């Protein structure tokens, strides 16, 4: 590090919708646990109405939470955000808000922030493909191309989505896999305790899923698969972890399908490793699109065998023998048959599974090291 930079910490502002539990948010929280406070100072700016469930833990780790709700109107919002940038005197602005990163980095450039990073975490824009949306997308991508000093992506699919199909020709852009904290997956879990808490019989077969209730996660199809499984194994239970705008609709649909108390919705949780290790026997993930789903990495670290949509990037299949890929054009009955088939293979031992992940870029230690080294190199340049 140069003499000038060594005199003070590198100041980094991460920009997100909120710090509610999710793949990106959990990754960032774990990165904060591996930060050298003498070298880096992290702040997190959220655009949602609430800072999020992780906010308290974030501040305990010495990171400042900054709120800048977008509901105040674009002009007022822009002024307030630029004031945050101006007063913060940041070395790095790292934006995770997909297309809107174009505006974030444009304003960061106007406030003379030297390092401006756009980070893509998804392989598809989840908004309706209207003419106005397409125009907005073209504008934001042009601003990202103009104002980003660096581009990061969770996977190759996510890179192509935000930076274009020829992203590999742009030296500013690279794939950095988000890592997970493997410690909780190596800890013993009392299966009886977890299942008693969830109202699930200790010896029941449990098909699990973790994800926000949004269109991409394809919960409707999950319910169709669950119905076919229940026809073959009526005593099977289903555990869905997560929250989101479609949760009420999916819960009502599950009631209408008469699962007779075998469908468990437990909301947003911060103990995913514990629920996977003690509460699930197989993981079903029929997403319509993904950047790179952290919950699938976690499921493999927990030793679960996974039945996964072929729309999910192959980069997420760390252990091929644990992951069965199926087309979404296949019938729910085919998904059900495959799920029951992989159940017969049993789960991997938790310690072995976690160590397999540990040897990849999906461990938080490697992921955090890559990110922090990138910050230092970028600021020095």
Any idea what the CATH number is for the domain that residue 267 is in?
3.40.50.2000
Residue 213, token pair as written in the block: 């209730």
Report the number of distinct structural domains present in the chain.
Answer: 2
My answer on whether 25 and 129 are in the same domain is yes
Q: What is the pLDDT of residues 195-219, one digit of tens each?
A: 999 999 999 999 999 999 999 999 9
Q: What is the pLDDT of residues 279-296, one digit of tens each?
A: 999 999 999 999 899 999
**Is the confidence at residue 1, as pLDDT, over 70?**
no
**Is the confidence at residue 297, as pLDDT, over 80?**
yes
My answer on whether 187 and 167 are in the same domain is no
My answer on whether 141 and 85 are in the same domain is yes
What is the pLDDT at residue 295?
95
What is the pLDDT at residue 4?
44
What is the pLDDT at residue 72?
66
Question: What is the rounded average pLDDT for all residues in the chain?
Answer: 93
My answer on whether 108 and 230 are in the same domain is no
- Tell me the DSSP string of 125-147: --S---HHHHHHHHHHHHHHHHH
What is the pLDDT at residue 350?
63
My answer on whether 43 and 109 are in the same domain is yes
Among 121-130, 258-267, 337-346, 365-374, the minimum mean pLDDT is found in 121-130
My answer on whether 139 and 276 are in the same domain is no
Can you tell me which residue has the tokens 């009631």?
255
Give the helix ranges, DSSP H, for the chain. Answer: 3-6, 23-32, 55-60, 74-88, 101-110, 131-147, 156-163, 191-198, 219-232, 247-256, 272-279, 294-301, 332-343, 350-358, 364-380
My answer on whether 157 and 170 are in the same domain is yes
- Domain extent, residue 133, equals 3-179+361-380
My answer on whether 164 and 248 are in the same domain is no
What is the pLDDT at residue 356?
86
Residue 69, token pair as written in the block: 């709700």
My answer on whether 338 and 373 are in the same domain is no
My answer on whether 127 and 200 are in the same domain is no
Q: Is the dihedral of CA 274, 358, 208, 20 positive or negative?
A: positive
Q: If you average pLDDT over residues 345-370, what whole number do you get?
A: 84
My answer on whether 351 and 368 are in the same domain is no
Q: If you average pLDDT over residues 351-370, what whole number do you get?
A: 88
My answer on whether 88 and 55 are in the same domain is yes
Q: Is the dihedral of CA 65, 69, 74, 77 positive or negative?
A: negative
What is the pLDDT at residue 349?
67
């Amino acid at each position: 590090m140069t003499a000038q930079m060594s005199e003070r910490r590198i100041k980094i502002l991460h920009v997100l919708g909120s710090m509610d539990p999710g793949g990106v948010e959990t990754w960032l929280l774990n990165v904060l646990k591996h930060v050298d406070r003498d070298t880096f100072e992290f702040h997190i700016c959220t655009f949602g109405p609430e800072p999020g469930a992780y906010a308290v833990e974030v501040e305990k780790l010495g990171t400042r939470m900054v709120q800048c709700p977008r509901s105040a109107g674009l002009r007022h919002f822009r002024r307030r955000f630029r004031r945050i940038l101006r007063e913060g005197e940041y070395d790095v602005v790292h934006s995770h808000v997909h297309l809107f990163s174009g505006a974030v980095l444009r304003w960061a450039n106007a406030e003379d922030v030297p390092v401006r990073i756009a980070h893509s975490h998804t392989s598809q824009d989840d908004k309706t493909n209207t003419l106005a949306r397409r125009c907005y997308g073209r504008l934001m991508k042009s601003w990202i191309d103009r104002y980003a000093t660096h581009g990061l992506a969770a996977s190759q699919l996510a890179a192509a989505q935000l930076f274009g199909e020829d992203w590999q020709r742009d030296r500013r852009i690279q794939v950095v896999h988000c890592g997970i904290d493997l410690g909780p997956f190596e800890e013993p879990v009392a299966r009886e305790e977890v299942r008693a808490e969830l109202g699930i019989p200790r010896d029941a077969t449990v098909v699990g899923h973790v994800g926000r209730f949004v269109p991409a996660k394809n919960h409707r199809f999950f319910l169709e698969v669950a119905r076919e499984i229940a026809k073959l194994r009526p005593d099977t239970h289903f555990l869905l972890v997560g929250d989101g705008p479609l949760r009420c609709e999916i819960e009502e649909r599950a009631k209408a399908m008469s699962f007779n108390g075998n469908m468990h919705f437990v909301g947003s949780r911060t103990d995913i490793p514990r629920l996977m290790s003690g509460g699930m026997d197989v993981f079903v993930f029929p997403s319509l699109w993904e950047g790179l789903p952290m919950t699938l990495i976690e499921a493999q670290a927990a030793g679960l065998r996974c039945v996964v949509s072929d729309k999910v990037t192959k980069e997420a299949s760390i252990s091929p023998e644990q992951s069965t890929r199926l087309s979404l054009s296949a019938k729910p009955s085919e998904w059900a048959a495959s799920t029951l088939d992989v159940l017969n293979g049993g789960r991997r031992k938790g310690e072995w599974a976690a160590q397999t992940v540990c040897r990849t870029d999906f461990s938080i230690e490697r992921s955090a090291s890559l990110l922090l080294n990138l910050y230092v190199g970028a600021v020095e340049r």
